[in-house]
Amino acid sequence: MGFRALLTDRDADGKITSTVADIDEARLPEGNVTVDIDWAGLNYKDGLCLTGGGGLVRNYPHVAGIDFAGTVRQSADERYAVGQAVVLTGWRVGEAQWGGYAERARVNADWLVPLPEGLSTRDAMIVGTAGVTAMLSINRLEAAGLTPDAGEVLVTGAAGGVGSIATALLAKLGYSVAALSGRPQHADALKALGAASIVDRNEFLEAPDKPLESARWAAAIDSVGGKVLGKLLKQVKYGGAVASLGNAGGIGLDTNVLPFILRGVTLIGIDSVMQPYATRIAAWKRIAETFDISAYGDLVREIGLEELPDAAEQILAGQIKGRLLVKPR
């Protein structure tokens, strides 16, 4: 039986295009669980996969979509029963393996997570890879000693997917959040999520650069990299830590060693893709306990498969607010 998918292909000149197509189930990749997809997400990496950026997709035609939530349709794995709600993030699904921009996916059971109690498949995709990455970042910062009484936590790329969920999760956990954003028009939405203050990205970057600057932040969660990460490291308080998870502003890191050797600052790398099962289960459990989905409602927009190519361009241009959900059927 066939299903609808957004098929991304590369022509002889290397041009990448995506069109909705009917696909025979026999073309699904190998795997022991087949999932009927209710919702997929749009992430920065999906923007790259849909436009051929970053060399992430090697084999065409391809079905992109790095995260999805849905219902088990067939299972040859005893952990998953037909009808069970599941979510998938990471494992290079949507990059090296067909992903979530389709009505159906077939994957390795080890990559799935049973949906925690209290979350619908739509809720799970509001959270998506962005939310898992935000939660993993907070968990690592706390393991490094961060507590709510340590002072303000800076979140960069705050109006984006990871940044906005990190803002909401931190605020709910009792942290005082400073949300750094290049889009002042989203300041009210960020305050509604719990941000105590807004830091204008341009003002932040234009301030005179010194080897070590006034210590302002107890910790930071950084989606941006580049100049933003380089500068914020110089403003972290003694003993503080920074979770570096993204490169929306560049892969460079222009800083110096003074924050590390004079203030004992720790730089923590966050990867959500290859996290072991137990870490994912723990992250999803804490998300279900912490994240107020209803408070996030204004930052969610729904689209169909046909609208994805345009949305991919928008997310790469930093124009998407919050989370964009994809409904494949």
Neighbours of 44 (CB within 10 A): 24
Closer CB to ligand NDP, 107 or 228, in the complex: 228
Region at 215 (left for phi over 0; alpha for psi -120 to 50; beta for the rest): beta
Dihedral of the CA atoms 290, 286, 69, 325 (nearest 10)?
Answer: 40
| Cα separation values, 93 from 132, 185, 197, 214, 240, Å | 15, 34, 36, 42, 34
Strands (E), 43-127: 67-75, 85-89, 104-107, 112-114
Task: Verify binding: residue 248, ligand NDP, rule CB under 6 A.
Answer: yes
| Cα separation values, 58 from 8, 49, 93, 98, 307, Å | 12, 10, 13, 11, 23
Among 7, 45, 116, 150, binds ligand NDP (CB under 6 A): 45
The minimum distance between CB 313 and ligand NDP, in angstroms, equals 12
The minimum distance between CB 81 and ligand NDP, in angstroms, equals 29
Return all residues near 149 (Cβ < 8 A) that are at least 6 apart: none
Query: Which residue lies nearest ligand NDP, judged by its C-beta?
Result: 160
Task: Verify binding: residue 74, ligand NDP, rule CB under 6 A.
Answer: no
Residues 119-148 that bind ligand NDP (CB under 6 A): 129-130, 133
Task: Verify binding: residue 328, ligand NDP, rule CB under 6 A.
Answer: no
The minimum distance between CB 200 and ligand NDP, in angstroms, equals 9
Among 25, 209, 271, 310, binds ligand NDP (CB under 6 A): 271
Return all residues near 287 (Cβ < 8 A) that are at least 6 apart: 116, 119, 127, 131, 132, 135, 169
Residues 219-238 that bind ligand NDP (CB under 6 A): 223-224, 228
The minimum distance between CB 79 and ligand NDP, in angstroms, equals 24
Residue 47 in tokens = 């923007």
Among 88, 235, 272, 312, binds ligand NDP (CB under 6 A): 272
Return all residues near 238 (Cβ < 8 A) that are at least 6 apart: 215, 263, 264
13-21, 30-38, 98-106, 247-255 -> range binding ligand NDP (CB under 6 A):
247-255
Task: Verify binding: residue 75, ligand NDP, rule CB under 6 A.
Answer: no
The minimum distance between CB 292 and ligand NDP, in angstroms, equals 19
Total residues binding ligand NDP (CB under 6 A): 32
Return all residues near 297 (Cβ < 8 A) that are at least 6 apart: none
Say how far apart CA 157 and CA 243 lie, in whole Å: 13
What track of x and - describes contact with ligand NDP for positions 150 through 179 (by CB under 6 A)?
-------xxxxxxx----------------
Closer CB to ligand NDP, 70 or 225, in the complex: 225
The footprint of ligand NDP (CB under 6 A) covers: 43-45, 129-130, 133, 157-163, 181-183, 201, 223-224, 228, 245-249, 270-273, 315, 318, 320
